[in-house]
Amino acid sequence: MSRSGLAEPRSLPPGQRLTPVLRTVQYGRVPRIALATWSLRIGGDTLDGEALSLSWADLASLPRTVVRADHHCVSRNTTLDLLWSGVAARTIVEMAPPADDVAHVLVSAARGYSTNIRLEDLSSSRAVFATHLDGEPLSPEHGWPLRLVLPHLYGWKGPKWVVTIDYQRYVERGFWEQRGYHLTGDVWREERYSYQE
């Protein structure tokens, strides 16, 4: 609080502007997903060399968490104080741990979208595989049934419609990273484009 008794204004990450409503942005059409056949597969360079597949019922049985976080789009729009709920990403990592020398994760979504993130970002205490936004199930446009939320990174690093997590010992650039976006995407460092790497 300031001396006047009013709340201090919050600072936005560099280059961002406030947008009151979370906009829906995606490449291509919104996929239609049937929960009866949907699953989340965790594979790649796992600790035991095996892949794990979670059905919707499996995912729903896991402990839930709630994260209040801002959403920062690389298009420079920021929406404050969104309430995401779902399964902590750490829970998934602990269920199917990576091999000891893994540093990267390729997270893939329905319709061929993927993004590469660092294992340390996926393991953040604020990273969540969200099923709900502001107390309501995600809409298809916002990533139903499962969306990865990484509050400290730009939005493209948190794919909607997640279906696969692949641990990797090497860096494989995802959809937007192949098209000139930054490999890490830290919003506070304004890591937008690959030439900044």
Dist. CA 2–CA 51, nearest whole Å: 52
Within a domain: 143: yes
Main-chain phi, psi angles of 95, to 5 degrees: -70, -40
> Does residue 159 have a cis peptide bond before it, meaning omega lies within 30 degrees of 0?
no
**% of the chain exceeding 90 in pLDDT:** 87
One-letter-per-residue 3-state SS of 120-142: HHHCCCCCEEEEEECCEECCHHH
Helix ranges (DSSP H) in 22-131? 56-60, 89-95, 119-122
**With contact defined as beta carbons under 8 Å apart, do 13 and 19 qualify?**
no
Within a domain: 11: no
3-state class (DSSP) for residue 75: coil
Q: What does the pLDDT read at residue 9?
A: 60
Within a domain: 162: yes
Q: What does the pLDDT read at residue 105?
A: 98
Q: What does the pLDDT read at residue 3?
A: 40
Within a domain: 127: yes
Nearest to 54 by CA among 148, 156, 146, 150: 146
Within a domain: 29: no
Give me the residues of the chain with pLDDT under 70, please: 1-9, 26
The number of distinct structural domains making up the chain is 1
Dist. CA 58–CA 190, nearest whole Å: 37
The whole-model pTM stands at 0.91
CATH of the domain at 160: 3.90.420.10
Within a domain: 15: no
Within a domain: 3: no
Could you tell me the residue range of the domain that residue 134 belongs to?
42-196
3-state class (DSSP) for residue 165: strand
How many Cα atoms occupy the beta-carbon half-sphere of 43 within 13 Å? 10
